[in-house]
């Protein structure tokens, strides 16, 4: 072995901790294990039974408060928004943090505290998920030219996990599409915490509008066999002839699936792209 390859083989691998071992966590675990230059250093799940026989015993973390002892470079949350509220600030003291459930950031106190914690050394990474064109929208927000952003998500009723009034409204869906909600993303996130991560990502990219200015529209459509995300951007110009972009993302999804198939691939790309940007908040 020559000197250069000897040095390469000794290069430290990026150490990843995964929080949540559901659909997405199990997928990411396999993807990280396959990726040269990366290693999983812990997996935490609320119930340990779910990891038994699927994960080496030495990777199972029993207490999330102990995760710094595994010296992760990147912690990835794919469990529940409550994890970021409770532990996110702590994680950012010693690792980069990729927030898989960014609906947590609709809570202004949580967002502010994570923003603050991401100002010292480590970065807060927000995966694009099903959000298409995020970099372009962020550029417009940086320049102050973004005037309006509406994100419409349409899914089969069985794909929704809703809370409170929206859960009740969902029960009234018959054979036609029904608009469950249209309004600020800030109001929608706590009512559909598992379904509107894409909208939360949009509100972060469109930071000049934020969670109060970005409009979310949620539609239950019993005829759909896919998850549809429509993004409508409005920029400068005369009324009737202003800058505008509309994208429609159609992602096949089996009945009852919260996450469409192509979003898994987007998620692992985000994980491998969540590196080297330093402090601050980064779309990835
Ligand atoms: N950003 C995106 O585009 C995007 C896409 C898909 C899923 N997600 C989010 O990622 C997370 C995981 O998604 P999934 O499809 O793997 O879900 P899943 O239901 O398959 O798995 C969730 C896992 O987290 C655990 N969990 C659930 N509630 C918890 C809580 N309150 N505290 C701790 N652990 C809890 C469960 O035990 C389960 O193992 C969800 O929050 C989901 O909203 C985000």
What would the pLDDT profile of 133-162 be if each residue is shown by its tens digit?
999 999 999 999 999 999 999 999 999 999
Per-residue pLDDT tens over the stretch 51-91? 999 999 999 999 999 999 999 999 999 999 999 999 999 99
User: Are the CB atoms for 238 and 59 separated by under 8 Å?
Assistant: no
User: Are the CB atoms for 131 and 269 separated by under 8 Å?
Assistant: no
| Cα dihedral value 124, 125, 131, 134, nearest 10 | 80
Domain definitions of the chain by residue range: 3-129+264-283, 134-258
Q: Which of 67, 75, 78 to mutate to test the pocket of ligand 1 (most atoms within 8 A of CB)?
A: 78
Quote the ligand 1 centre to 79 CA distance (angstroms): 4
Query: Per residue in 197-228, is it b (16+ CB within 10 Å) or e — as a string?
Result: bbbbbbbbbbbebbbebbbbbbbbbeebebbb
Q: Which residues line ligand 1 (CB under 6 A)?
A: 20-25, 45-47, 50, 78-80, 82-83, 100-101, 127, 129-130, 194, 197-198, 258-259, 263
Answer whether 0.85 is exceeded by the pTM: yes
Choose which CATH entry (3.30.360.10, 3.40.30.10, 3.10.450.50, 3.40.50.1820) describes domain 134-258.
3.30.360.10
Q: Give nearest CA residue, ligand 1 atom 41.
A: 80
Point out the ligand 1 atom lying closest to the alpha carbon of residue 200.
1
The topology (CATH level 3) of 3-129+264-283 is Rossmann fold (3.40.50)
User: Are the CB atoms for 75 and 93 separated by under 8 Å?
Assistant: no
Point out the ligand 1 atom lying closest to the alpha carbon of residue 194.
43
User: How large is the C-alpha radius of gyration of the chain?
Assistant: 20
- How many beta carbons lie within 10 A of that of residue 148, not counting itself? 15
């Amino acid at each position: 072995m020559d000197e250069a390859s000897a040095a390469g083989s000794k290069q430290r691998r990026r150490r990843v901790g995964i929080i949540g071992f559901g659909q997405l966590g199990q997928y990411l675990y396999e993807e990280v294990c396959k990726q040269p230059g990366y290693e999983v250093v812990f997996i935490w799940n609320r119930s340990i039974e779910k990891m038994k026989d699927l994960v080496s015993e030495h990777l199972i973390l029993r207490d999330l408060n102990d995760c710094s002892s595994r010296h992760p470079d990147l912690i990835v949350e794919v469990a529940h928004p409550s994890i970021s509220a409770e532990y996110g600030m702590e994680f950012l003291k010693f690792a980069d943090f990729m927030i898989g459930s960014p609906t947590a950031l609709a809570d202004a106190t949580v967002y502010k505290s994570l923003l603050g914690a991401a100002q010292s050394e480590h970065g807060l990474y927000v995966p694009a998920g099903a959000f298409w064109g995020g970099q372009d929208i962020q550029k417009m927000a940086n320049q102050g030219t973004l005037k309006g952003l509406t994100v419409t998500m349409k899914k089969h009723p069985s794909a929704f996990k809703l809370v409170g009034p929206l859960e009740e409204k969902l029960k009234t869906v018959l054979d036609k599409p029904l608009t469950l909600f249209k309004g600020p993303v800030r109001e929608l996130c706590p009512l559909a915490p598992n379904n509107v991560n894409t909208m939360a990502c949009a509100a972060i990219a469109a930071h000049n509008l934020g969670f109060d200015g970005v409009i979310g529209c949620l539609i239950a459509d019993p005829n759909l066999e896919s998850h549809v995300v429509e993004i409508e951007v409005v920029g400068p110009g005369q009324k009737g002839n202003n800058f505008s972009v509309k994208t429609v993302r159609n992602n096949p999804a089996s009945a009852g699936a919260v996450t469409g198939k192509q979003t898994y691939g987007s998620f692992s790309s985000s994980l491998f792209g969540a590196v080297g940007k330093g402090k601050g908040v980064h779309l990835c």
